[in-house]
Amino acid sequence: MAERRRRVDHVPESESAIVGMNIRVLRQRNGWTQAKLGELMGWPSPSTVCAAEGRRGGRQRSFSTDEVHRLSVIFGIPSWRLTTRCANCEGYPPAQFACLACGATYSGEQPQAADNSPARQEARQ
């Protein structure tokens, strides 16, 4: 079986799933319909946004690095946040709860005041 290679201008499949989840959370937080976000992105129809937010036919839609950049500008957040953490809970749901967007559960740890992840450090430079 031939190994499927990722196109260089696309984010990895694992990050595409996070981007799709975050699109839904951020779109709903802004009170936008799928049609509105599709219009802002220049996508042909709301079904494109629907496919972007979740799996279609068992496969997660992939995102180009350009699409991730445009989405980050539209939502007003850095690109790395779209691909690395849940926009709903940031990986830290409240005690006794689970995040309905990403499924994270309370671990007893508190988020740190500063994010020192490699992606964040790179974004600061």
Query: Can you name the residues that pair with 55 across neighbouring β-strands?
Result: 60
pTM above 0.85, yes or no: no
Domains of the chain: 13-124 (1.10.260.40)
- For residue 55, the SS3 value is strand
List the chain pLDDT tens, one digit each, 125 residues: 444 444 568 888 778 888 888 888 898 989 998 888 888 888 777 666 766 776 566 667 788 889 899 999 999 988 888 888 788 888 788 888 888 778 788 777 655 544 444 444 444 44
* CA distances for 55 relative to 17, 58, 112, angstroms: 8, 6, 32
- Token representation of residue 88: 């709903």
